[in-house]
Amino acid sequence: MSMYLIGDLQGCQAPFQRLLEKIDFSPSRDTLYLLGDLVNRGPDSLGVLRQLSALGDAAQCLLGNHDLHLLALWHGVRPVGRSDTVQAVLQAADGPALLDWLRHRSMALQRHGWLLVHAGVLPQWSAAQTLALAAEVEQALQGPDPKGFLSAMYGNTPDQWHDGLAGADRLRVIVNALTRLRFCTPDGVMEFHSTEGASAAPQGYLPWFEVPGRRTLATPVAFGHWSTLVTDQKRSTSWGKHVLPLDTGCVWGGCLTAARLGAAAGAFELISVPCEQAQKPGPKQA
């Protein structure tokens, strides 16, 4: 039995299939953990959702910002944008069933000692608190009024966590941290405009995983979302064994990467397949 962590698919079904063949994946024996952004920008989001939902418990999926955006489109909270490539999901006969499956996915998981998130973890949060806060969002999304939650989800404020947050503000901060975070201050103030690599941190900000004394420092954390980290290979030696970014830019013509977890805590082996470029590189990679 093998466990694999896989970075952002973003609707790239063909590379996903090649990766499964390369690792000799068997749903009766192995388990996949997909780190969010299953859909959008790539050519076959419908195929990705159909395959993942059919795998049952063999594919444990997190929600990323693009997945939440698709759910917002489904509920009419936002119009389909020019860069969205999810129209086939919205128009498919099995679309409602797939989207209902999608809204029941997780916001964070902890498996085999690893904390799994799509984007990041605020420095004030422990692994246990991260999972508890993720469950609050899951409850809102899976409850009787998902449209109400999704309608209040968008926005950059508040940009900092404190325990007294309540209602829509509280859920928005949790969503933004788990699905959009790249840079923050040592006090956990989030920055949402910069999409470059870790070396291009805005003044006063750090990559979230480089904040001194963050409470998840001793916990191995795997995440996606940040494809431009692959350009920071020299800097990556300072991240330590407890930081594993797995968005290797498949939709931008990079690779799709899986980490096969080892027996020892924090151990892994990387396996990748090349990807066809589905989107032109630009300043708004996510």
Phi–psi pair at 147, nearest 5 degrees: -65, -40
Q: How far apart are CA 154 and CA 157, in angstroms?
A: 9
Could you count the other beta carbons within 10 Å of the beta carbon of residue 77?
18
Q: What is the pLDDT along the chain (286 residues), one digit of tens a residue?
A: 899 999 999 999 999 999 999 999 999 999 999 999 999 999 999 999 999 999 999 999 999 999 999 999 999 999 999 999 999 999 999 999 999 999 999 999 999 999 999 999 999 999 999 999 999 999 999 999 999 999 999 999 999 999 999 999 999 999 999 999 999 999 999 999 999 999 899 999 999 999 999 999 999 999 999 999 976 655 555 555 689 999 999 999 999 999 999 988 788 999 999 998 887 655 444 5
pLDDT of residue 281: 59
Q: Cβ neighbours of residue 135 under 8 Å, at least 6 residues apart?
A: 107
pLDDT of residue 277: 87
On whether the CB atoms of residues 6 and 272 are closer than 8 A, the answer is: no
Q: What predicted TM-score, i.e. pTM, was given to this entire model?
A: 0.95
